[in-house]
Amino acid sequence: HMLFNRARIYEYMDKASVQNLINEHLEGKQNRRLFIWSLLNFEWWLRKYLT
């Protein structure tokens, strides 16, 4: 999985929900590319500005 257990986003979002949405994308059930892109940017922002 692209998001590891230590991801900072899980301090603000439910881990199981995020992983379910990512799995839907990986399995081809839903196109979640914009959601995943937003997660990556949020994670980057958290690491850059809130560490």
Phi, psi of 32 (to 5 degrees): -110, 25
d(CA 25, CA 33): 7
Residue with the larger pLDDT of the pair 1 and 28: 28
pTM exceeding the 0.85 threshold for the entire prediction? no
| Tokens 């994308």 -> residue | 25
Q: How far apart are CA 22 and CA 28, in angstroms?
A: 10
Calculate the average pLDDT of the chain: 90
| Arithmetic mean of pLDDT, 11-27 | 93
Instruction: Please state which of the ranges 1-5, 14-18, 45-49 shows the lowest mean pLDDT.
Output: 1-5
Cβ atoms of residues 8 and 46 within 8 Å: yes
Using alpha carbons, select from 48, 34, 37, 46 the residue that is nearest to residue 10. 46
Instruction: Report the pLDDT averaged over residues 1-19.
Output: 83
